[in-house]
Structure 1
Amino acid sequence: MIELEGLTKRYGEKVAVNNLTFAVRPGIVTGFLGPNGAGKSTTMRMMLGLDRPTAGDVRIDGRHYDRLKDPLKYIGALLDAKAVHGGRSAFDHLLCLAQSNGIPKKRVHEVLDTVGLTAVARKKAKGFSLGMGQRLGIAAALLGDPRILMFDEPVNGLDPEGIHWIRTLMKSLAGQGRTVFVSSHLMSEMALTADHLVVIGQGRLLADTSMADFIARNSRTYVRIRTPQPERLLDVLHGAGITAVRAGGGVFEVDGEKPERIGELAAQQQVVLHELSPQQASLEEAFMRLTAESVEYHAHSGAPRRAQWGSAGKKG
């Protein structure tokens, strides 16, 4: 388990992480979300003792990271897949880490096989593709067979097969009772992987809840109905005290009702329905709604305006 209590980090006048308190529990995949500049990387670095908190505390299985003997046996992390000496082979990189943490040599072979790098184990890391580098970073995280795993953008550079593999791996690790903490900007992938979400914005905690509850709380849920008999449908719904909003093309939207009740009412009155479907926002839509006020950098849609030039052909 990872436990944060009032964790705070300031850089001069800027507060990067502001009084964060939450726990990352074993047995589930916990997603860590936030806009760019929200403080996710700083938080993860403090968890690993790479940055010292200005205030507050973070513990790994009840202890500070710097008090862990052979820390790779407690927590494995992928923060930066490029943090590898380019002149070392994948095998030698992992062997060095293993020797520094009292991990047997045979474990190096095991994790290379797990991540699919056995065939290139003796090749220098500087020749690795982005995806191969990610796999090597994941191998390093798994090296000590730790109870806690932390991944920052683990699917970066992976092909579809690799993405499916890491998703399955994280779920499997959580299924073994391990603590799995993963940060990613890919909402579609997070929706398929995470069971629980921790969301921060401008360094503050915005949500600490299950995936289902997060989407339900931060999105609109409604029933979409399509019919060739719009007026009859309106009469039936109105008679039952249900308000429907026209969406065009014979489509209506109803809030606060179950599709089963609407379908039963339509069947009783012989109203033909071509569609009756519950609608709910995606994780991305729910995330955008919650963090709208916490985004530090806003891009503007539309094509860029043409520059204005003076008569000499230079910018005016």
Structure 2
Amino acid sequence: MIEIRDLSKRYGSVVAVDGLNFDVLPGRVTGFLGPNGAGKSTTMRMIMGLDRPSTGSARIDGKPYRRLRDPLRRVGALLEAGAAHGGRTAYHHLLWLAQSNRIGRRRVREVIELVGLDSVADKPVGEFSLGMSQRLGIAGALLGDPDALLFDEPVNGLDPEGIHWIRTLMRGLAAEGRSVFVSSHLMSEMALTADHLVVIGRGRLLADTGMAEFVQRDASSYTRIRTPEPERMRQVLDAAGIQVRTGADGALEARGPRQRTIGELAAVNGLIVDELSPQAASLEEAFMRLTAEAVEYHAGDLPEGGRR
């Protein structure tokens, strides 16, 4: 179990993480979401003892990381896929990690096989693709067979087969009673993987809830409408008191009413309809609504001192 209590991190006048409180419980995959700059990576680094909190604590089974004996046996993490010496082979990279925590050579071979790197185990890590480096990082996280696991953007660089594999792996680890904490920008993948969500924005906690509850609370189903006369359709729907907006692809999105009601309104007003389809509430929509005021950089924005 991972416990976060009043956790904050300041860099001078900048507050990267601001008083977070949440738990990563055993037996489920907890998704960690937030816009760029929200403080996700900083939070994970503090859990792993790589950054010291300004206030508060991050504990694994009741202890901070630095007080864990043989820490790889308690918690494994993939925070940076490239964190391996390019001149070492995959096998020797994992071997020195294992020896540092009194883990046997047999386990090194087991995790290499588990992540699918058997054929390249004796190749230098510097020759690895991003996807292969991700698999090596995951092997390192699994090396001590820990009860708690952290993955920061684990699907980066993976092909569809690899993404399916890591999703199945994480859900399997949680089913074994482990605490699995994973961040990702891929909403579609997170929707298939996570049971619970922790969402932050500008370093502050925005949500700590189950996946289904989050989507139901912060998103809604709607009817997608495509017509050659969108402005007339909008006027008809507005007059009927139906909320409507224009989607990213130009189609109209009507909230609330069933398709039959919209179809009848279109028929009465002589409107042609090319598409009238129900759309379920989505994690992406819920996330965008919740974090709309917490996005640090919008399209067209530049950080201070940046150039186009």
Aligned counterparts of 2:255 and 2:4: Cα–Cα separation in 1: 42
Q: Deviations over 1:222-251 (max 9, x none)?
A: 46799xxxxxxxxxxxxxxx976689xxx9
Aligned counterparts of 1:173 and 1:285: Cα–Cα separation in 2: 28
Aligned counterparts of 1:36 and 1:254: Cα–Cα separation in 2: 29
**Which protein is bigger by CA-based radius of gyration?**
1
Aligned counterparts of 1:55 and 1:122: Cα–Cα separation in 2: 44
Match of 1:21 in 2: 21
Aligned counterparts of 1:55 and 1:62: Cα–Cα separation in 2: 17
CA separation of 1:276 and 1:210: change in aligned 2, threshold 3 A: farther
Per the alignment, in what secondary structure is the counterpart of residue 4 of structure 1? Answer: strand
Aligned counterparts of 2:92 and 2:14: Cα–Cα separation in 1: 40
Match of 2:166 in 1: 166
Q: Deviations over 1:232-287 (max 9, x none)?
A: xxxxxxxxxx976689xxx99562x789x99xxxxxxxxxxx99975333211111
Aligned counterparts of 1:35 and 1:254: Cα–Cα separation in 2: 26
Matches within 5 A, 1:191-206: 191-206=191-206
Match of 1:124 in 2: 124
Aligned counterparts of 2:45 and 2:63: Cα–Cα separation in 1: 16
Q: CA contact under 8 A between 2:242 and 2:254: conserved in structure 1?
A: yes
What one-letter code is carried by the residue in structure 2 that aligns with 1:41?
Answer: S
What one-letter code is carried by the residue in structure 1 that aligns with 2:107?
Answer: R
Q: CA contact under 8 A between 2:221 and 2:255: conserved in structure 1?
A: no
What one-letter code is carried by the residue in structure 2 that aligns with 1:127?
Answer: E
Question: Is the aligned partner of 1:139 residue 2:139?
Answer: yes
Name the TM-score, length of structure 1 as normaliser: 0.80
Q: Deviations over 1:124-166 (max 9, x none)?
A: 1001111100000000000000001100010000111101000
Per the alignment, in what secondary structure is the counterpart of residue 293 of structure 2? Answer: helix
What one-letter code is carried by the residue in structure 1 that aligns with 2:60?
Answer: I
Match of 1:267 in 2: none
Question: Is the aligned partner of 1:176 residue 2:176?
Answer: yes
Match of 1:66 in 2: 66
CA separation of 1:138 and 1:246: change in aligned 2, threshold 3 A: closer
Query: What RMSD in Å do the two structures reach over aligned CA positions?
Result: 2.7
1:64 CA drift (Å): 1.1
Q: Deviations over 1:19-70 (max 9, x none)?
A: 0000000111100000111000110000000000000011101111111000
* Equivalences, count: 275
Match of 1:219 in 2: 219
Aligned counterparts of 2:225 and 2:73: Cα–Cα separation in 1: 54
Match of 1:307 in 2: none
Aligned counterparts of 1:155 and 1:3: Cα–Cα separation in 2: 25
Q: CA contact under 8 A between 1:47 and 1:59: conserved in structure 2?
A: yes
Identity, in percent, stands at 68
What one-letter code is carried by the residue in structure 2 that aligns with 1:175?
Answer: A
Match of 2:152 in 1: 152
CA separation of 1:293 and 1:243: change in aligned 2, threshold 3 A: closer
CA separation of 1:2 and 1:276: change in aligned 2, threshold 3 A: same
Aligned counterparts of 1:36 and 1:125: Cα–Cα separation in 2: 28
CA separation of 1:128 and 1:246: change in aligned 2, threshold 3 A: closer
Per the alignment, in what secondary structure is the counterpart of residue 292 of structure 1? Answer: coil
Q: CA contact under 8 A between 1:33 and 1:40: conserved in structure 2?
A: yes
Question: Is the aligned partner of 1:10 residue 2:37?
Answer: no
CA separation of 1:85 and 1:275: change in aligned 2, threshold 3 A: closer
Per the alignment, in what secondary structure is the counterpart of residue 298 of structure 1? Answer: coil
Structure 2 residue ranges without an equivalent (≥5)? 227-239, 246-251, 262-273, 302-308
Question: Is the aligned partner of 1:110 residue 2:101?
Answer: no
Match of 2:83 in 1: 83
What one-letter code is carried by the residue in structure 2 that aligns with 1:186?
Answer: L
Match of 1:101 in 2: 101
Per the alignment, in what secondary structure is the counterpart of residue 191 of structure 1? Answer: helix
Per the alignment, in what secondary structure is the counterpart of residue 31 of structure 1? Answer: strand
Per the alignment, in what secondary structure is the counterpart of residue 7 of structure 2? Answer: strand
CA separation of 1:83 and 1:253: change in aligned 2, threshold 3 A: closer
Q: CA contact under 8 A between 1:197 and 1:207: conserved in structure 2?
A: yes
